[in-house]
Amino acid sequence: MSSKWHWPISGGKGTESQTARLERSAQRFGDLRTPEQLQEHYLIERELADRLRLAPRSQRPGLYCEVYDELFRRVGHHPQLHAANGAPRQREVDGLLALIRGFLTRSTVLMEVGAGDCALAICAAAFVKRVYAIDVSEQITRGVSCPANLSLVLSDGCSIPVPEGSVDVAVSNQLMEHLHPDDVREQLHNIYRSLAPGGVYVCITPNRVYGPHDVSKYFDQVATGFHLIEYNARDIRRLFASAGFSGIRFYAGARGIFLRIPFWLIAFFEEILGAFPQGYGKTIAQTGPMRALLGLRVAAMRPRDG
């Protein structure tokens, strides 16, 4: 994949305008880091992502943990290392909790896959019986203070190391896109197995129509960082159905308000926007109303007789 913004931050003709463009783009996404830090993050993440993309299946289980721990060690200014107590992060957690709250009861066993800083898992623990917080990185979960009903579990990236059929609600936020394309079905199958019959998996993943959504968004036209593949609604519905899920539902919304919407509506706008020249379609898709519609928020059930 080609990168169109491989430019040095300092020195060279035209650097000032390129730096200013990067600063404006970062501000739009609420990232307060310097252009130098963004480029450092990008180059390191792309290097590690390429290592994961090119690794054979036999090496990837251990490699997920390795590359993410290395990223957080080498990129000390990574947003995930500093966002846990910030107001934007709390607003994000509040929105996620609003999305899943209707699926939770006091007797629910909840599992968050890709828990990261565990902010959502910790907040949700107040509403449920038990929480499993699963992640591949020991580095990002280090120092997390957990309530008594929350268990931290390390995974190799594909495995879901909880008892089969023990989970009522599973949730992941910005996870699927981090998996190697050849590992996605395996992880979905493992999540399916972890759910009790009638259990629900709520999955939030960015839509590639207005991507990329990793750090490469500042430099490339398609994801080249740790978003190994980004999806659209058709992809997600097909993958979930192939794993055995039923009742696949899509939701649109923002700021804690979500409504169920028909699949065909998202697919229609994806197709229309995809027909525009790339820059125009992406510009329209990145507007607030379109992101509220196209952001992939999916709830799917393990059949009661499954």
Q: At what angle do helices 233-242 and 184-194 cross, to 10 degrees?
A: 60
Query: Does pLDDT of 298 surpass 90?
Result: yes
Whether residues 91 and 155 share a domain: the answer is yes
Whether residues 91 and 239 share a domain: the answer is yes
Tell me if 28 is assigned to some domain. yes
pLDDT in tens, 154-200: 898 889 999 999 999 999 999 999 999 999 999 999 999 999 999 99
Contact 277, 221 (CB under 8 A): no
Give the number of domains in the chain. Answer: 2
Q: Which helix (H) or strand (E) holds 121?
A: helix 119-124
* Nearest one of 44, 99, 37, 36 to 67, comparing CA atoms: 44
Q: How many CB atoms lie within 10 A of CB 208?
A: 23
Whether residues 171 and 126 share a domain: the answer is yes
In the predicted model, what is the mean pLDDT of residues 218-222? Answer: 91
Which of 145-159, 196-210, 276-290: highest mean pLDDT? 196-210
Whether residues 60 and 97 share a domain: the answer is no
Residues ≥6 apart with Cβ < 8 Å to 100: 124, 169, 171, 202
Tell me if 96 is assigned to some domain. yes
Whether residues 47 and 100 share a domain: the answer is no
Which CATH number belongs to the domain containing residue 276 in this structure?
Answer: 3.40.50.150
pLDDT given at position 13: 47
Burial class (CB in 10 A: 0-12, 13-18, 19+), 261: middle
Domain that holds residue 97: 86-301
Whole-angstrom Cα distance, residue 306 to residue 97? 27
Whether residues 66 and 94 share a domain: the answer is no
Tell me if 4 is assigned to some domain. no
Tell me if 146 is assigned to some domain. yes
Q: At what angle do helices 278-285 and 263-275 cross, to 10 degrees?
A: 140
Q: How many CB atoms lie within 10 A of CB 238?
A: 12
Strand, helix or coil at 118? Answer: coil
pLDDT cut 70: percent of the chain above it: 92
Whether residues 69 and 112 share a domain: the answer is no
Tell me if 2 is assigned to some domain. no
Query: Does pLDDT of 247 surpass 80?
Result: yes
Kindly report the CA angle at 174 between 225 and 230, in degrees rounded to 5?
55
In the predicted model, what is the mean pLDDT of residues 246-255? Answer: 94
pLDDT in tens, 102-137: 999 999 999 999 998 889 999 999 999 999 999 988
Tell me which of 34, 64, 80 is where a domain ends.
80
Contact 223, 212 (CB under 8 A): yes
Whether residues 48 and 101 share a domain: the answer is no
Whether residues 194 and 103 share a domain: the answer is yes
Whether residues 61 and 152 share a domain: the answer is no
Whether residues 46 and 177 share a domain: the answer is no
Tell me if 256 is assigned to some domain. yes
The strand pair at 246-254 and 257-261 is best described as antiparallel
Tell me if 246 is assigned to some domain. yes
Whole-angstrom Cα distance, residue 164 to residue 167? 8
pLDDT given at position 159: 92
What's the distance, Cα to Cα, between the start and end of the chain in Å? 40
Whether residues 58 and 113 share a domain: the answer is no
In the predicted model, what is the mean pLDDT of residues 300-304? Answer: 96
**Longest pairwise C-alpha distance within the chain:** 65
pLDDT given at position 279: 78
Residue 210 tokens read as 């207005």
pLDDT cut 90: percent of the chain above it: 69
Tell me which of 28, 60, 80 is where a domain ends.
80
> What value does the mean pLDDT of the chain take?
89
Residue 130 tokens read as 């038990």
Tell me if 182 is assigned to some domain. yes
pLDDT given at position 282: 87
Give the Å distances, CA to CA, from 121 to 112, 137, 139, 283.
Answer: 6, 16, 17, 34
Tell me which of 80, 109, 136 is where a domain ends.
80
